[in-house]
Structure 1
Amino acid sequence: MTQPYTLVLRDCAQVLTLAGAPTDRPLTGPALADWRIIEQGFVACQGDTIAAVGPMSELDESWLGPETRVIDARGRVVMPGLVECHTHLVFGGNRADEFQRKLQGESYLDILASGGGILSTVRKTRAATDDELLAGALHHLEGFRRYGVTTLEAKTGYGLDAATELRLLRVAHAAGRQQPVQLVHTFLGAHVPGPEYKGRPAEYLAMLSEQVLPALQGQAEFVDIFCEEGAFSVDDSRRYLQRARDLGFKLKIHAEQLHDLGGCRMAAELGAASVDHCDYLPAADAAAVAAAGQGRTVAVLLPLVPLYLRQDKYAPGRQFIDAGLPVALSTDFNPGSCPSKNLWLAVSLACLKMGLTPHEALAAVTLNAAWALDRQQQVGSLEPGKRADLLVLGLPDYREIPYWLGENPVQQVIIGGQ
């Protein structure tokens, strides 16, 4: 090192490093809780990069210059920025008008079949201007930042035609350039068949495969599909994802949200970075999904969705972990089944409803979530060489994070050392 530190967080009550476990695959089994917590520690940064992490006894103060910004984190937890690995960021309007229907007992699929749900948002999104969509995305990103999210996946999926889906990608890229949260772009044109293709899902996927996927080069990193009754079958999803993989895209899937169709295992066999929802993935099948994905396909669990939809079935996270399936956590922020940006509430619910420990749940919203986005080399843990994305929490002990149900513990958000 030739230059002084530009930022030092010192006297931290606890530094949650998320480091110390195997680095060649996501954390699972005992490793999900076997990462280093430093009591009375420090984190030092140079520019946008972490330079050193350790106990206060190892802080070399000769590297503090007159321009070094020093943050006294006495009595507070310092941890990596949250990685939000499943959101539907860009959309028009909202679906508050359907909330009452949910309360009266209509199911998600009932509302979709009547022209509501995703199709309601599609109509509002198609009618919205680019400026309106961008303003909404920036508003939501600021909300995520206040909750401590420093990296976020942004899916399309509310255009359901070639022109609007590409427009949503352009808006998401514009939002990424105008604020500090790092965005990862996913194409979810295969959310459900577009209304012009009602009853013809294979034809809709053929249109996407032939007209849209080739136009996405450099615009989207991942391609996703909703494999579910009322959306796309396992066979159709396999063909579509194979086409995306052949074009060089990384893969994701919405699967086993409402029924056990076998989409998770199929996507893992194709090398998907993540299989998302998994509420109806039987615990007995978790080891097979883990093996199909060679231990690198992450099950992204979304506990706020069954809560909001008033469903009783949650993914069996404890059994997944014990079976060797890596897990991450996300909100699934969207206008229909999870209009919440509170990833801390998802952490609490994962502990209460999915059997995770606080140690495991925190790994699931940092390092494992980074694996679900193929960002594990850049973010998700506090280690020298990674991006300086850090949170200062108004708590002295990490075990309090899920305990204070629904509260936002974040006092300070640092993104890229700023």
Structure 2
Amino acid sequence: MPQPYSLLFCHAAQVLTLAGGPPDKPLAGTDLADWRIIEHGYVACQGEAIAAVGPMSELDAGRIGPDTRIVDVSGRVLMPGLVECHTHLVFGGNRADEFQRKLQGESYLDILAAGGGILSTVRKTRAASDEELLQSALHHLEGFRRYGVTTLEAKSGYGLDAATELRLLQVAQEAGRRQPVRVVSTFLGAHVPGPEYKGRPADYLDMLLAEVLPELNPTEVPFVDIFCEEGAFSVDDSRRYLQRARELGFGLKIHAEQLHELGGCQMAAELGAISVDHCDYLSAEGAAQVAAAGQGRTVAVLLPLVPLYLRQEKYAPGRQFIEAGLPVALSTDFNPGSCPSKNLWLALQVACLKMGLTPREALAAVTLNAAWAIGQQANCGSLEPGKRADLLVLSVPDYRELPYWLGENPVAQVVIGGQLEE
């Protein structure tokens, strides 16, 4: 006799399952928009897992017991919890003063020369206590949860020395333990060379390889990331670093093609990177090469709020990426310098407006493909029996309204691991 459902959402106007694509790789090409939507459907949970999904006409009433919590979501959309696959969660202070200076015409390089930019955040982060950093991270995670984010990747990268980088990873993991949003850690010590290594990027990477990576456990910090760009790390230095990280058992990520097309994305895909991020300057030809090199498993994580916030004209050509067969995900890139926003819905909307994604493609890009981009596809990203019961009740009756109501948060209720978060 099967157990009664613990939680049942019924009479949904639409259930966005994100199911129906290939089981062994992220959604690409036409598959990105070809997943199943159930009209007038239900989602049933048993404990922490999804037990059943389907149209109301197929609901097994025999599994509704006296203790089943029934939630009528008539006129509303049900969908998987959002997966936020690229954030810089833990940092000290903010850069609101620099935002004012930028608006008054100062360039990023002028601000950097005056000790601002990333170096400003590094100073504030190094000076902050673990408790201050933890409270800041918890505050931001609560904000993400209100937007419907149920799983989130958190990068280090604002310490730029061995001790602080290790602290940032520990703070992110502790923040994950203290609240319901699941946190996946990425080591981004190779953000830019630390200020003590100015002009010596290779020496800085050697320090990370000798003093930090051996201290990390890939089961706790599954990914190593690097910023491959002029002024950060070259393609050759990035390759050497990522190769060594792979030998140590880490999954690979890269920030690449944000400001120039240097070939970092293709290099990382050839090494088996799980994602290549930013990609604003990746050409359609380059995207096809990345898709081939990554055998359809390397996800391009696009970050549309960054060029918006930096007032840049160049956005990643997402439509061309999709046509080239490259899997695409979306993220905010939440950070204090180039995107102090936790609104993943706004990122989805700007991707539709500026990168050529359709609403269905954009929804796949913030759920299932985002889960693939952080190795969480077996746990979340779609509404399928056996997966974790992470889902959202939205205050709209049709998914096509999601990119339409610009800047609005459509989330009415959040469920994480079968627990309805009030």
The TM-score with structure 1 as length reference comes to 0.99
Any unmatched runs of 5+ in structure 2? none
1:237-271 deviation line (CA, Å, top 9, x unaligned): 00000010000000000001111111000000000
Match of 2:343 in 1: 342
Moved over 4 A (4+): none
Alpha-carbon distance change, 273 to 108 in structure 1, aligned in 2, over 3 angstroms: farther
Q: Give the corresponding residue for 1:246.
A: 247
Residue 380 of structure 1 corresponds to which residue in structure 2?
381
**Whole-angstrom CA distance in 2 between matches of 1:132 and 1:199:** 31
Q: Which secondary structure does the structure 1 equivalent of 2:66 belong to?
A: strand
- Alignment of 1:7 with 2:7, yes or no, is yes
Gaps of 5+ in 1: none
CA distance in 2 between partners of 1:338 and 1:414 (Å):
26
1:318 aligns with 2:310: no
Q: Structure 1 CA distance, aligned partners of 2:173 and 2:376? A: 18
C-alpha distance in 2 between matches for 1:56 and 1:105: 57
Task: Give secondary structure in 1 for the equivalent of 2:399.
Answer: coil
User: 2:163 corresponds to which residue?
Assistant: 163
Measure, in 2, the Cα distance between the counterparts of 1:246 and 1:272: 13
- Structure 2 Cα separation of the partners of residues 345 and 233 of structure 1: 32
Scaled by the length of structure 2, the TM-score of the pair is: 0.98
Residue by residue, what CA displacement relative to the aligned partner does 1:284-324 show, whole Å, maximum 9, x if unpaired?
21110100111100000000000000000000000000000
The 3-state SS of whatever aligns with 1:229 is: coil
Bigger shift: residues 79-88 or 168-177: 168-177
For 2:347 and 2:234, how far apart are their aligned partners in 1? 29
Q: Is the 8 A contact 1:169 1:219 kept in 2?
A: no
Asked if the contact 2:2/2:63 (under 8 Å) is kept, the reply is no
What is the correspondence of 1:13-412 to structure 2 with a 5 Å cutoff? 13-217=13-217, 218-412=219-413
Cα distance in structure 1, aligned partners of 2:111 and 2:324: 35
Q: Secondary structure at the match of 1:253?
A: strand
In the aligned structure 2, how far is the partner of 1:346 from the partner of 1:288?
26
Residues 66-98 of structure 1 show CA distances to partners (whole Å, capped at 9, x for unaligned) of 110111010000000000000000000000011
Whether the 8 Å contact between 2:14 and 2:40 is mirrored in structure 1 is yes
Cα 1:131–1:232 shift into 2, 3 Å: same
d(CA) in 1 for partners of 2:183, 2:129:
21
Offset of 1:283 from its aligned partner? 1.6
- C-alpha deviation, 1:116, in angstroms: 1.6
CA distance in 2 between counterparts of 1:403 and 1:241 reads 40
Q: Residue type matched to 1:293 in 2?
A: G
Letter in 2 for 1:268: A
- Counterpart of 2:101, as a letter, is R
Sequence identity percentage = 82
**CA displacement, residues 43-83 of structure 1 (integer Å, 9 cap, x when unaligned):** 00100000100000000111001110111010000000000
Task: Name the CA distance, whole Å, in 1 between partners of 2:121 and 2:209.
Answer: 23
Deviation of 1:118 after TM superposition, in Å, equals: 1.1
